Structure 1
Amino acid sequence: MTDESPKGTPADRDRWRKYLAAERAEAAVYRELAARRDGEEREILLALAAAEGRHEAHWLALLGGDDSGVPRADVRTRLLASLARRFGSIFVLALAQRAEGRSPYASDPDATAAMAADERIHGEVVRGLAARGRRRLAGTFRAAVFGANDGLVSNLALVLGIGATGVPASVVLFTGVAGLLAGALSMGAGEYVSVRSQRELLEASAPDPTAREALPHLDVDANELALVYRARGMEPDEAVEHAALVVARVQAAELAQSPTDALAIEADDDEAIGTGMAAAISSFCFFASGALIPVLPYLFGMSGIAAVVTATVLVGIALLATGATVGLLSGASPLKRALRQLAIGLGAAAVTYLLGLAFGTTIG
């Protein structure tokens, strides 16, 4: 113990305690995420936790080692820790990315420049980890989100447009079911063709596996393998050097057991586009689930303005959910993405509803 008086004003010490609580909670988030991973990702997450521990030590030192009265972390950080314990998913990494971006250290005189720089770099590290998960999800997730959103918007617009003409509720119901089936089948087929075509294009760009048989016979001094690497994006000097190394290794029998990767060293990584069948099934199911929502009021016997309002409210809630999900995974504001999704979806439905009213009046 020392006889020194406490550092800082009471307001300063309260702020330091809040920072201390936040650092402890963030370190716990990274440790929880690390516990659900292995290999390189685990090491990276544990290194992030250790860095948060250094920041924690800084605030504790300013408090003179006294951590009494440290409050609970803010609600966002506590929620993040809870999600990390239970799920450890890409959603948690996306939220952690946003949390790192909100660090106040750059403008706080009691935080060091190194701490402020750490937080900015932490955000990029977490962005990189989240990007790995996004790539794994990319193909199927894209089909799922677009399918659900298209089902919600297109069938709501169809149901409201037909309903506004004044036709009986049974006609609206059958129209909605027909729109559901037609749209889901069309989306599924379209996704399958799209993904299969993209994979076939990638396969056409892959190296010919039989070409490796020519490697041992190439002339090191006049090496046409360099042209392969130049065609795949290498600079001329780098391509020549790399090709000479590959040929020398092949001729020395260092790659005699497995020379299959020599031509593909500089090939682009296969895009995370998923499989055609997975994309088709996801697109079909999510379009159908989205398109079912505006039909529900009519399935339960509702009609008229009550059915219209109920369908609109249900679809609005679903649009908010899909928009927020996209926002979370993209590292953007969930609220802004949710409101954007809502505005676009209901705007499209409103147009068809007004057209239905106009046609109904004309026919009447």
Structure 2
Amino acid sequence: MKSEKPNLSAIAHTLGVSVATVSNALSGKGRVSTELAERIRDTARSLGYVPSVAGRALRTGRTGVLGLVLPDIANPLFPQIAQAIEQAASSAGYGVLIGDSRGAVEQQTQAILRLIDRGVDGIIVIPRRGTRISDIGCPVAVIDTPATPGNTVASDHWGGGEEMGRHLRELGHERVLILGGSPLSNVQSDRIGGLRAGLGSSVRAEVLWLEQHAETHGADAPLGLAAMVKDGVTAFAGLSDLTAVRALTELQAAGIAVPEAASVTGFDDLIWSSVITPSLTTLRMDMAEIARQAVQALVAVIAGLPQGRVTALGTVVADSNSVPMMLMLRQSSGPRAVDNRNVEGDEA
């Protein structure tokens, strides 16, 4: 026979006090002496009492649950971010419900509305590229880029790009191809700006957008990187690790050695970036710190604390909205090849 969970009545009966006294002691309300309140909490712990989430919601008007909207959960970056958010939320006493935008603005809106309907106390949104999150009727924290209006907290994408640009310039690279996904991405725009600043005016840097290339040549069409190496490009700077691995794969298939003939770098430091061959030079985001700041700022607004600040757009602001990135130096970047004009290899 399944035993019943201990409730307020069981605690009250054990101590010989009223249920109301137990409730006030556990919630911190009412006039209960410090000594009695401590005895009640000790008894609750010894009996294995777990507060009812539903009951707490009725008393406080809060569910103890935060919403999290991701742009595309199929991208391996976002489950890593979700894990960091869940850990930060758990430390703050909250659970997390996840919604997936699946790469579409309409789906992002629907995901937000579904979470609001389920009564979440606040929502953390990583916006689909190029979209703004305005007042949605409940506290909302945005993780995008410091350049995004209403942003709460983000990695310093510009600063990370600048550090990578300096790294490639110091290796002697004079011609770099930047590989991006979509020109609509605020994050990737910041990364490009940083890369160009770090490379300096003496380095020739061009951008190839994979989304535009796919529209013209097809999603699986080669990028023509071997021909670019023969033409003098000695470094390929992907704006994500996924893009960098596509470049690495195409160069290797064409018989071009990395990093001897061409360097490849990325962003995000995905879980497999250190174990591929060659291991990928990339930039790591401090996801734990980003998650901590986003949750802390959101919970402060929910609780009505002074440090919880809201922008004119209705989004929550953290004390520090730019978290530095860390350059992970690995095998895929090296000194510029002296002469690539005689590189052999065919397009994959």
TM more than 0.5: no
What is the TM-score with the length of structure 1 in the denominator? 0.23
Higher strand share: 2
Could you say which structure has the greater relative contact order, defined with CA pairs below 8 angstroms and 6 or more residues apart? Answer: 1
Bigger CA radius of gyration? 1
What is the TM-score with the length of structure 2 in the denominator? 0.23
